[in-house]
Structure 1
Amino acid sequence: MPGIYLIAILASAAGVLLIDRRWRLAAWQAPARTALAVGIGTAFFLAWDAVGIATGVFVKGDSALLLGVDLAPHLPLEEPVFLAFLSYLALVAWSGAVRLTERRRADAASPRSEASR
């Protein structure tokens, strides 16, 4: 079914967006910085793909799940969407891990946790 891969990426991105919104990890905390980071990450991975395509390392396989729209030889439309999703997911995961680590450190240093030892 053409387009199912793009739908899966967009549905996954919507889930990450909801997580981000709930805990204000990236886009809801600093929208411009998040957009810049996702843009830079996507551009970096597209350049990486271009080098891989030029050297023959990356080739587009045949799949009925792709829309069939190529932005360049061996670069399907879904690729930059996936790379943006990957960059955003990494940013949200990193922000969540930093917040969790900070919270655990703060809990460990609180007087209440000292009294329970």
Structure 2
Amino acid sequence: MGMVYLAALLLSLGCMLLLDWRFRLFFWRDAVSATVVTLVGLVFFLLWDVAGIANGIFFRGDGAIATGIVLAPELPIEEPVFLLFLVVCTMVIYTGAERLITRWRENRRTGAGAS
């Protein structure tokens, strides 16, 4: 039972990457830029977590579905995986929305799709 949360995070991350691959939104559109954005976002959020932990704001919850493995005090192994998922999910949603809005504007400008 202790791997459920980590497995769910990895499965969700895999699904986001499949959407990305299917529609060429983030990593499959520009792998170098996507890697830089992902690493910067991950480091930013990890530093945010470390600052919160150091100030006594963030605490590790004890859950039956978590592995119990900690990378540092109050920093479970699931946290960087969650933050990675958060960054990838955000960028897939952002680039997908950007594409949809661009197509909508083009269709509106050219009159395509008008009834």
State the TM-score bracket (shorter-chain normalisation): over 0.9
| Corresponding residue for residue 98 of structure 1 | 98
| Structure 1: gaps spanning 5 or more residues | none
Deviation at 1:68, TM superposition (A): 1.3
Find the aligned partners of 1:18 and 1:87 in 2 and give their Cα distance.
15
Q: How do 1:5-44 and structure 2 match up within 5 A?
A: 5-44=5-44
| Corresponding residue for residue 47 of structure 2 | 47
- Cα deviation digits, residues 83-108 of structure 1 (max 9, x gap): 01100100100000100000000000
**Structure 1 length as normaliser, TM-score?**
0.94
1:75 maps to a residue whose letter is: L
CA RMSD of aligned residues (A): 1.2
Deviation at 1:64, TM superposition (A): 1.3
- Cα deviation digits, residues 59-84 of structure 1 (max 9, x gap): 00111111111100000001001101
Deviation at 1:112, TM superposition (A): 4.1
Find the aligned partners of 2:112 and 2:39 in 1 and give their Cα distance.
43
Question: Is the CA contact (8 Å cut-off) linking 2:59 and 2:74 kept in structure 1?
Answer: yes
| SS of residue in 1 equivalent to 2:71 | strand
**Structure 2 length as normaliser, TM-score?**
0.95
Segments of 4+ moved more than 6 angstroms: none
| SS of residue in 2 equivalent to 1:81 | helix
Question: Is the CA contact (8 Å cut-off) linking 2:3 and 2:65 kept in structure 1?
Answer: yes
Residue-pair matches, total: 115
Question: Is the CA contact (8 Å cut-off) linking 2:62 and 2:68 kept in structure 1?
Answer: no
Identical-residue share of aligned pairs (%): 42
Cα–Cα, structure 1 residues 78 and 106, in superposed 2: closer, same or farther, change >3 Å?
A: same
Deviation at 1:3, TM superposition (A): 0.9
Question: Is the CA contact (8 Å cut-off) linking 2:2 and 2:68 kept in structure 1?
Answer: yes
